[in-house]
């Protein structure tokens, strides 16, 4: 399974006066989807960082289709785009309770050695967990 879905209830502080989710909050929703996808594969950011690996976002693209509103329960679907090398790419789809697509997005993250601050290839222990 190279995708995962998580529900997120829109909180009041994530919206404007009209109850519409501020566009910047979708990046957080993507991060939540991505970290849970990795966690279910047995990979945690904490363990990566403890082993000297950072995984920063180097590119993010979002296409907004429709607004999420206060108290909506949105579903974030996260999918691995391809087997990672130096980069790992994810596609996302955020839908509302009616199944309508609100946002389609892509993120690209790079594996970085914390000491050298240079890109490295995806460690074998991570690659092994992603191909299960």
* Cβ neighbours of residue 80 closer than 8 Å, sequence gap 6 or more: 2, 3, 37, 88, 89, 90, 130
Residue 4 annotated among the catalytic residues of the structure:
no
Cα dihedral sign, 73-26-1-81: positive
Percentage of residues of the chain with pLDDT beyond 70: 98
Cα of 98 vs its chain's centroid, Å: 22
The pLDDT value given to residue 50? 95
- Which of the residues 16, 71, 72, 113 is marked catalytic? 16
How far is Cα 16 from Cα 86, in angstroms, rounded to an integer?
A: 38
Domains of the chain: 3-130 (3.10.129.10)
How confident is the model over 64-101, as pLDDT tens digits? 999 999 999 999 999 999 999 999 999 999 999 999 99
Neighbour order of strands in the sheet with 73-80: 3-9, 73-80, 87-95, 101-110, 57-64
Q: What is the mean pLDDT of residues 17-34?
A: 97
The pLDDT value given to residue 131? 76
The pLDDT value given to residue 132? 60
The pLDDT value given to residue 2? 83
Is 1 a residue whose pLDDT tops 90?
Answer: no
């Amino acid at each position: 399974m190279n995708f995962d879905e998580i529900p997120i209830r829109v909180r009041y502080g994530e919206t404007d006066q009209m109850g519409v989710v501020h566009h910047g909050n979708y990046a957080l929703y993507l991060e939540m989807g991505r970290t849970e996808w990795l966690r279910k594969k047995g990979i945690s950011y904490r363990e990566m960082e403890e082993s000297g690996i950072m995984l920063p976002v180097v590119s993010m693209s979002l296409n907004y289709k429709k607004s999420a509103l206060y108290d909506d329960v949105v579903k974030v679907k996260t999918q691995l785009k391809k087997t990672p090398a130096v980069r790992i790419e994810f596609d996302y789809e955020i839908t509302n309770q009616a199944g309508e697509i609100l946002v389609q997005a892509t993120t690209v993250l790079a594996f970085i050695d914390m000491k050298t601050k240079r890109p490295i290839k995806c460690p074998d222990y991570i690659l092994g967990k992603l191909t299960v």
